[in-house]
Amino acid sequence: MNMLKRSAVASALLCSAALLAQQAVAQPQAPTARQAPSTEPRAVLDLSKGWRFHFGDAGDAPAAPDFEDSAWQPVAVPHTWNKVGTYAVQRAADSDMRQGKGWYRCSFAVPAALNGRRLFLEFDGVSKIADIWVNGRHVGSHAGAFGRFRIDVTGAVRPGDNSLAVRADNSASAPGSSTEHVIPLGGDFFVQGGIYRGVRLLAVDAAHIDLADHGGPGVYLRTSRVSAERAEVAAKTLLRNLGTRRRTLTLVTTVQDAGGTPVATDRAPVALAPGQASTVERALTVATPHLWQGRADPYLYRVVSELRDGSRVIDRQVQPLGIRSFAFDAERGFLLNGKVTPLHGVSRHQDVQGKGWALTPEDHASDMAFAVEIGANTIRHAHYQHAQEWSDEADRAGMVVWAELPFVHEANVEPSEAPAAATIANAEEQLRELIRQNYNHPSIMLWSVGNEADIGAAIDAMRKGDGKPAQSRAMLEKLDRLARAEDTSRPTVYADCCEDTPSILSMQGAPSLNGITQVMGLNRYYGWYYGDLGGVGPALDALHAKHPTLPIGLSEWGAGGAMTQHSDNPRGGPVAAYGRPQPEEYQSLAIEENWKQIRTRPYLAASWLWNLFDFATTMRNEGDATDVNTKGLVSYDRKTRKDAFYFLKASWSDAPTLHLNGRRYVDRAYTVTDVRGYSNADRVSLSLNGKPVGEVTCPDRICVWPGVALTPGANHLVATATIGGKQISDALDWNAPDPRKGVFIDSGALVGSTMGGDSYGSDAFFRGGTGKVISAGRNPMAVPPKVEGTDMPALFGSYREGRFGYDIPLPDGSWTITIASLEPDATKGAARSFTVLANGQRVIESFAPMQAAGGANKAVTRSFAVKSSGGRLVLDFEPVGGDAVVAGIAIRPN
């Protein structure tokens, strides 16, 4: 692009620098800024509109005031240039995965009423590195995508129009890159670029509540003692005098109740010399305090801190105050205000499809409404500092919050190497920002200093076939010490991935990272990445016995759920945890079975399901999506609640809940199926096409009507229940096939498909045996071997093995049965043979798949005729030598 210079005054696009309010920055009782009287001491100028944006490195030229930017894209902030993630098996054409430098420019004018004040630019979040210029002068930088930062620009601003240029850099972390030492260095989420949170200009008196404290509010509140009679509130206020004369001032601190009535006030004289910073620590007592009681009663006071010069207020800061006591106990779990309070909730990433990270206060409020609806009482902020608007929502909603530092996956861009000093320093600064900027949120009760900090080396070793463990422990220990020093009122926590798990990423020789922090977080995916669906409970018990003095939280659990992939029986085969398919029904089953174990362990302080929403990542091509982690309970665009959402709502919430599963699986593979749903009703009735099916109880909130016979064609199902005297209902519509035209089963498969012109359902109607898939060995990400000798390779990609049978609903008549088989393991092939029985009669004797096909991983079929009666066909596969193996069953009318 040919950049032509021009007059900034004549042509510059003016930032929307309207004087929103001369007010306190923090207004915890309201999600958006409000108009305030001009007598307020702190002015806030909104700089959200009127920007121009250009992606690409252009040196420092765009910082010049007269730089020509008329061809750049007009944007408003919050803004990100990235667009990541689509529900398709191919990346969308309009995806934007660019990483690098993006430029933003605008002009702003400072009202004459603010002459003589100190001016600070305040950015809530610029990813990942920000460089700032005012009138061509470089005024500051910030390294870290998630923390608020401020820059004193008093000396750079001039009368009239001023130019503002921001360079945002989200370059991929790599050796020699600009972000090599800026955490996170890895992680299963995409670090989007841009000025993706708010930006404003602050105007304050030369003497003010300090704005230079790592982006913090300058006022830090702690309830040191709490009882029914009184609460002692410790208030630490940081002050600074940037003027040229000594100031004799008064700091007035007032605790107000939710209605604005003062309930405690303190006055402290302050003398500030020119250039001096001072810390004032005071204690206030609130009589008969109204406690912040989580979801039951999230009562909020607020603390108004005023710096006065005589009777004139020269600065004011307002912060939330929730009076509560809490503890994490190794045996009793979590206690809030002395009462055992089991915590169950979700993790959340900060992106929405179509918006990415550029969220509005309304987006944050909408996201919190989902958490409230499901009945969660705790939120994990994954895997970084979240927006202040989101934490404000948590305060008001009564959520117990795990707040996290973005020390994720690895401590070095070379994952098995020790962290560089610069990386540690950056992590320490981001941790200070996290704690100080969020210190006053009563909802936050855990500081997380990392997540799976050693897994990057394990992933690297798996991909290369060899490698050394990570060297993350020393860095984690330093961060833990810093967090404890910054805040003695909250415990530290770390989320461990791998200790004592059967995961392929559990590296031999890797040191345990549990026990460094005061609370142990465990990311455990039994029945998904490893183990079986009954594994999480025993694993938690074992780690509790191994670390008996550590409180435990299950920091991640769950499973992926693709909304367009469906299973007739989610126990029919292994899920493709690292690929496709990932049917919605398996997600439901995994969450059901895990929750049954989680809820019965009183020592478990908390559990956070991964994740409330699907989110963007460039590490995954899984389920029915590309660049999306599908473990959310709600779709990336927030339009669809998956079935599992309603299971947890029925389990966690008191709201009357009734939901029939499978509404997205409209065109069914089989005429006979179990109908499943979730409800917190005592009993639920089901009707099909206006006729009653029956009434069932819903143990564990799971309602099942087994073996419901659908009508070929359209079917309308309605469930009804009465809860608290009120009738509720749910309905869905399915289309069923005509079984007289044939029945087709893809053995060992979780998801059916159309092959050879026939519609195969996933594995169903089986008894015994084990569903398996063709694999390339221990690495689940490796491409499986090709099955030869067939034009339907997908049918032979899975199989059922062992001694097993099928009881298949089938109209009475004459049929031709075709059995598809193969030898998946050459070492077993020579000895393998089995016999097939149909309705108790032997139809195939001593069938040896490898011998018949002429080798392993080669398709072979056998057919026979049979008559069915009584509405069913019974097939049995009996081993003769080794196990029976069947890849598919086709039943066609004669």
What span, in angstroms and rounded, lies between the C-alpha atoms of 142 and 151? 10
Residues 139 and 267 in one domain: no
Does this model's pTM top 0.85? yes
Burial of residue 557 (CB within 10 Å: 0-12, 13-18, 19+) is: buried
Residues 716 and 848 in one domain: no
What span, in angstroms and rounded, lies between the C-alpha atoms of 266 and 233? 11
Residue 837 CB neighbour total at 10 angstroms = 15
> Is 96 part of any domain?
yes
Residues 532 and 620 in one domain: yes
Helix or strand or coil: residue 531? Answer: coil
Which residue, among 747, 706, 331, has the nearest Cα to 550 in the 3D structure?
A: 331
What span, in angstroms and rounded, lies between the C-alpha atoms of 849 and 851? 6
Residues 267 and 373 in one domain: no
Pairing of strands 753-755, 519-523: unpaired
Contact 279, 344 (CB under 8 A): no
| Average pLDDT for 549-561 | 98
Residue 268 CB neighbour total at 10 angstroms = 14
Residues 686 and 745 in one domain: no
| Average pLDDT for 37-65 | 89
- Amino acid, single-letter form, for residue 220: Y
Cα-atom radius of gyration of the chain, to the nearest Å? 31
Give the number of domains in the chain.
5
For the stretch 512-552, pLDDT in tens is 899 999 999 999 999 999 999 999 999 999 999 999 999 99
Helix or strand or coil: residue 439? Answer: coil
> Is 753 part of any domain?
yes
Question: C-alpha angle 610/616/622, rounded to 5°?
Answer: 75
Residue 715, pLDDT above cutoff 90 = yes
What span, in angstroms and rounded, lies between the C-alpha atoms of 340 and 96? 47
For the stretch 389-422, pLDDT in tens is 999 999 999 999 999 999 999 999 999 999 999 9
Burial code (b: 16+ CB inside 10 Å, e: under 16) for 451-467 equals bbbbbbbbbbbbeeeeb
Helix%, strand%, coil% for the chain, nearest 5: 15, 40, 45
What span, in angstroms and rounded, lies between the C-alpha atoms of 686 and 114? 69
Which string of DSSP letters, residue by residue, matches 17-43? --EEEES-S--TT-SS-----TT-S-E
> Is 37 part of any domain?
yes
Residues 333 and 315 in one domain: no
**Percent of the chain's residues with pLDDT above 70:** 95
Q: CB under 8 Å to 735, separation ≥6 — which residues?
A: 666, 667, 668, 713, 714, 715
3-state SS string for 337-380: CCEECCEEEEEECCCECCCECCCCHHHHHHHHHHHHHHCCCEEE
> Is 661 part of any domain?
no
What span, in angstroms and rounded, lies between the C-alpha atoms of 39 and 69? 38
* Tokens (6 digits) for 566: 């469906």
Predicted pLDDT of residue 14: 65
The reply to whether omega before 538 is within 30° of 0 (cis) is: no
Which residue, among 205, 192, 48, 204, has the nearest Cα to 124 in the 3D structure?
A: 48
In the listed set 715, 736, 757, which residue is the last one of a domain according to the structure?
A: 736
Burial code (b: 16+ CB inside 10 Å, e: under 16) for 763-780 equals bbbbeebebbbbeeeeeb
Predicted pLDDT of residue 249: 98
Residue 17, pLDDT above cutoff 60 = no
Residues 129 and 24 in one domain: yes
Q: Cα 817 vs. chain centroid, distance in angstroms?
A: 47
The long-range contacts involving 576-579, CB below 8 angstroms and separated by at least 24 positions, are 576/622, 576/750, 576/773, 577/525, 577/528, 577/529, 577/780, 578/529, 578/622, 578/780, 578/781, 579/621, 579/622, 579/780, 579/781
**DSSP element (H, E) containing 239:** strand 230-241
In the listed set 321, 356, 386, which residue is the last one of a domain according to the structure?
A: 321
> Which residue is listed with tokens 């077993």?
828
Predicted pLDDT of residue 617: 95
Helix or strand or coil: residue 623? Answer: coil
> Is 1 part of any domain?
no
End-to-end CA gap in the chain: 71
* Tokens (6 digits) for 662: 């499978």
Q: Cα 239 vs. chain centroid, distance in angstroms?
A: 38
| Average pLDDT for 802-820 | 98
Residue 185, pLDDT above cutoff 70 = yes
What span, in angstroms and rounded, lies between the C-alpha atoms of 747 and 849? 15
| Average pLDDT for 477-495 | 98
Residues 383 and 515 in one domain: yes
Helix or strand or coil: residue 812? Answer: coil
> Is 351 part of any domain?
yes
For the stretch 737-747, pLDDT in tens is 999 999 999 99
Residues 522 and 548 in one domain: yes
Domain range enclosing 250: 219-321
What span, in angstroms and rounded, lies between the C-alpha atoms of 774 and 798? 6
Predicted pLDDT of residue 401: 98
> Which residue is listed with tokens 């991964």?
610
**Residue 2 pLDDT level (bands cut at 50, 70, 90):** very low
Question: C-alpha angle 320/481/231, rounded to 5°?
Answer: 30
Which residue, among 366, 369, 374, has the nearest Cα to 346 in the 3D structure?
A: 374
Residue 782, pLDDT above cutoff 80 = no
For the stretch 587-615, pLDDT in tens is 999 999 999 999 999 999 999 999 999 99
Helix or strand or coil: residue 252? Answer: strand
Which residue in the list 452, 556, 622, 801 is annotated as catalytic?
A: 452
For the stretch 293-330, pLDDT in tens is 999 999 999 999 999 999 999 999 999 999 999 999 99
What span, in angstroms and rounded, lies between the C-alpha atoms of 289 and 286? 6
What span, in angstroms and rounded, lies between the C-alpha atoms of 87 and 83? 13
Residue 499, pLDDT above cutoff 80 = yes
Q: CB under 8 Å to 42, separation ≥6 — which residues?
A: 22, 23, 24, 25, 202, 203, 204, 208, 315, 316, 317
Residues 726 and 758 in one domain: no
> Is 102 part of any domain?
yes
What span, in angstroms and rounded, lies between the C-alpha atoms of 859 and 853? 6
**Residue 15 pLDDT level (bands cut at 50, 70, 90):** confident
The CATH number of the domain where 265 resides is what? Answer: 2.60.40.10
- Tell me which DSSP letter residue 539 carries: H
| Average pLDDT for 223-236 | 95
| Average pLDDT for 283-298 | 98
The CATH number of the domain where 151 resides is what? Answer: 2.60.120.260
Cα separations (Å) of 52 from 126, 141, 247, 248? 16, 20, 42, 45
Ramachandran area for residue 199 (φ above 0: left; ψ -120 to 50: alpha; else beta): beta
Residues 755 and 684 in one domain: no
Contact 49, 16 (CB under 8 A): yes
Pairing of strands 51-55, 73-75: antiparallel
Residues 173 and 260 in one domain: no
- Tell me which DSSP letter residue 740 carries: G
What mean pLDDT, rounded, does the chain reach? 94
Predicted pLDDT of residue 10: 32
Annotated active-site residue 452? The verdict is yes
If one compares 783 and 685, the residue with the highest pLDDT of the two is 685
Strands (E), 464-506: 492-496
> Is 723 part of any domain?
yes
The CATH number of the domain where 779 resides is what? Answer: 2.60.120.430
In the listed set 712, 736, 760, which residue is the last one of a domain according to the structure?
A: 736
Which residue, among 370, 372, 436, has the nearest Cα to 398 in the 3D structure?
A: 372
* Tokens (6 digits) for 539: 């694993």
